[in-house]
Amino acid sequence: MGCCRLMVANARHGSMNRSISKLKYEAVVEVLLKEGVSDPEGVAILDAVVSLGYGSVSKVASGKFFRLMLHAEDEHSAADVVTEIAERLLSNPVLEDFRVRDLVSTNS
């Protein structure tokens, strides 16, 4: 049953990029503001952290975290797809940097 469901999902993905994908992957995309870009959320959180008594903390940077689940032929093509999505949608290159991390195969 699980196998059939996987095949349907693969067929759908395959029609998009003409590849027959077999494996499931998960990846995390982390988006942070570039150095020097205004981060009022980070500043407000830093104020709260210091108010709690953690005077040793000098900076808090706020950002975004996205977990993507996808099918891909191999780890390399999974990383390529996730990187492309991060570049084209998840981040704005004028303001933000991104990092793809924790790319893992989730096939059991």
Partner 1 sequence: MSGKVAVIVFPGTNCEHDVMRALDLVGLNGELVWHGQGNLDGFDAIVIPGGFAHGDYLRPGAIARFSNVMAAIVSRASNGTPTLGICNGFQVLTEAGLLPGALQKNSGLKFICETEKLEVVAGSAITSPEIAFSQVIELPINHFEGNYTISHDGYEELVENNQVVLRYVDNPNGSIGSIAGISNLTGNVVGMMPHPERATDLLLGSTDGLLIFESLKLRIS
Nearest-approach distance from CB 40 to partner 1, in angstroms: 4
Q: How far is the CB of 89 from partner 1 (least distance, A)?
A: 7
Q: What is the DSSP letter of 18?
A: S
d(CA 91, CA 98): 7
The least distance separating partner 1 from the CB of residue 3, rounded to whole angstroms, comes to 33
Give the long-range contacts of residues 2-6, CB within 8 A, separation 24 or more. Answer: 6/71
Applying CB under 8 A, the residues found at the interface with partner 1 are 33, 37-41, 43-44, 64, 89-90, 92, 94-95
Nearer to partner 1, 11 or 65 (CB): 65
Nearer to partner 1, 5 or 88 (CB): 88
